[in-house]
A and B are shown apart, each in its own frame.
Chain A
Amino acid sequence: MLIPLDRVAVNKKARVTRVQGGWGIRNRLSQLGIHPGDVITIIRHAALGGPILIEVHGFQVALGKGVAARILVEEGP
């Protein structure tokens, strides 16, 4: 089942299926190593609906809530 990345709980893994949105967001995410098929680990959610921190390919990226909501993932490795 596809869910947005920001709904994945801390310490869970998820596989990217699709990025909703235009060229800008696709380009930016792919530059930071986030492509369909990649496995992401959620490290933490910031307070008050702030950004989430994820790990992908061995490095960490902060994603704003709005951005994370546009990354559709499948839970589990």
Chain B
Amino acid sequence: MRIALAGQPNCGKSTIFNRIAGYKAVTSNFPGTTVQYTETKTHIDGYTCTCLDLPGTYSITSAEPAEREARKHLLSGEVDLIINVADASILSRSLELTLEVLELEIPTLLCLNMMDEAEKKGIQIDSQKLSSLLGVPVVPAIATTGKGLKELFTKVIEVGEAKKKGKVHKFSKDVEEVILPLVALLESKRPMNEKVPSRFLAIKLLEKDESFEEEIRPAPGFHRQIRLFQEKLEERHGVPSDEVISSERHALAMNIFEKVSQVIHPPQKDIRITIDRWVMHNVFGYVILAAVFYGFFNFIFGFGGYVEEPLLGIFEEWTGQLKSLLGPQALSFFLARGVLQGISGGVAIVLPYLVPFLIGLSLLEDVGYLPRVAFLMDVFMHRIGLHGKSIIPFILGYGCSVPAIMATRILEFPQHRFIVSILTSMIPCSARITIIFGLVAFFIGPNAALAIFVLNLIIIAILGRILATLYPEASLGLILEIPAYQWPPIRNTLQKSWWRIKEFIILAWPLLIIGSTLLALMEYGGVEGYMNWFLSPLTRLLGLPEVVGNTLIFGLMRKELCLIMLTQALGTNRVLSVMTPTQIMVFTIFVTFYIPCLATIAALWREIGKKGALGTILLTLLVALILSFAARIFLGILWQ
């Protein structure tokens, strides 16, 4: 049985999904594949179910690619059952999606999540009455505590076995008078897609849904016929036909909402409103924003530095022991040192910074701070030709560029997605952050590291400004829901961080060890000398030791490799003994800006095309060269 979880953004869908996945399941996580959804296999009462967590979508008419993704799955005809998750505290709006889902005529189950939030607002919902009005089972739940989920699973089997579909709701009479003949027309002359119910298709065409209009275009003369139906509706109501339908659906949803809910007490005093008064304040909001990110920065550095130092010492000692044990020229020593350095890179250099960073980022995401940042930063983002929502891919970019570039799908305009994708790839991801922390902060000082972050932001702002001039104003401006704060379910947050950390351990770390060993072998065989020689114009231009040439090649695979390879190439963890502070800064600046890693290039290719990806490679290389050369000159004078 294939089950899809569908719901509006921030309705707690993913929390429910994680509960299912963590329940008794084999999970597979597909970040960075063409389809961004999470899938898990689970067993419910002996049934094997495949469960899909789709991106949140406000409606099945979709303007953003993220929503299109969700819709594609819902319309694929492969889904046997939909669990529609609705936020009970904002039921009227949630029901608009529910009504659309019912039009799909697929067995459906409504999960009324966040019942505790509704109660805080003083709203009582009669779920039985709602169930009879919609014709589908309704299960109240509080996903964060797991309440109601057991019943949800039981109902899933019931609905799945009975294949029970819900009621398709009728609009008002004069609208139905337009819909019905259109349905008849579509029944007689199927222009496309057999899997979608005719009524659903008819409504979407009246809503002027672009992708459906696109699909019927090949059918000759059909488009003109549809246009006649749209005009009929427009004549009767005096507003565009899409507005007629959305108002109708809105009225239906409000009607159901009023029938099933009642206010039993005035809303409880909510401390979150007071918090927001400060967090979104015109002055203090920015002070808090700065404090949060400064605190975040110091937390990562404090934790990472505390752990890195003693661990490096231990590995250094082991390397020394290996050397005396195996002999400094022996192949076995080179091999062992390569492996050891790969391992130590992961344990001592990457993980101490990656773990606190990812946990912190997940916390900020789950609490709901990021939309507030978008609100505060909107006015500044406009200065570089973007709007506030683009700050979200940027912030995610500090984690990993791949999901961040995929997050540009929340932007409405292709032009914005193009610009933001390119700029996002230049935000130092956690791998590059570990380089900045592990090299610059650790060997030179936290302020120097901070300077690199600030320089990075300035450059991105300047580039944004330049790129924005390529495109005339097409902006819709910010339209963004600001959800209420949630106490993050710690389990969820940790699970999410763990998935991201696991990605490093499983995918990147073995590469680090292999890369490090490979480099050691190349050094033994004398091959790396050629590569370094090949790159020597670059290293000489930047005033770097010739041996670092190799590391830059490896860094194209994974940015962490730069650092591990650096210690491998230099033959020591004590970088300061072989590189000057200026060289460390120049190296780090180059690595921060130059060509994104392979996975990021692939993501760019997919999201903004070949030209965009190749353009980014050239642009970043150019920027990295200019900046690191300038840093060499400037710091050479400053730190003399």
Contacts and interface: CB of A to CB of B under 8 A. Distances in A.
B371 interface: yes
A62 B376 CA distance: 10
B320 to A, nearest CB: 58
A46 B246 contact: no
A26 B479 contact: no
A48 B377 CA distance: 11
Contacts of A63: 477-479
B283 interface: yes
What band does the interface of chain B fall in when counting residues whose beta carbon is under 8 Å from A? 35 or more
A62 B379 contact: no
B181 interface: no
A4 B374 CA distance: 23
A77 interface: no
Given A51-B388, A62-B374, A28 B121 contact: no
Contacts, number: 122
B475 A66 contact: yes
Nearest to B267: A58
Contacts of B92: 33, 57-58
A64 B479 contact: yes
Contacts of B243: 26, 30, 35-36
B581 to A, nearest CB: 39
A10 to B, nearest CB: 11
Given A23-B240, A31-B58, A53-B280, A46 B379 contact: yes
Interface stretch (B480-488, B536-544, B606-614): B480-488
A7 B288 CA distance: 28
Contact of A23 (B93, B208, B482): B208
Contacts of B376: 46, 50
Residue with the highest number of chain A CB atoms closer than 10 Å, among B96, B242, B387, B482: B482
A31 B379 CA distance: 24
B481 A60 contact: yes
B63 A27 contact: yes
Given A27-B242, A47-B283, A62-B388, A53 B379 contact: no
A25 interface: yes
B456 interface: no
Contacts of B481: 32, 59-62
B124 interface: no
Contacts of A46: 280, 282, 375-376, 378-379
Nearest to B282: A47
A10 B280 CA distance: 14
B89 interface: yes
B132 interface: no
B362 to A, nearest CB: 23
A53 B482 CA distance: 9
Contacts of B332: none
A23 B242 contact: yes
Interface of A: 23-33, 35-37, 44, 46-51, 53, 57-67
Given A27-B242, A35-B250, A59-B483, 10 more contacts: A24-B63, A36-B239, A36-B243, A46-B375, A46-B376, A50-B376, A57-B90, A62-B388, A62-B479, A62-B481
19 contacts: A23-B208, A26-B242, A27-B61, A29-B479, A32-B481, A33-B93, A37-B247, A46-B280, A46-B282, A46-B378, A50-B376, A50-B378, A51-B379, A51-B478, A59-B89, A62-B375, A62-B388, A64-B387, A64-B479
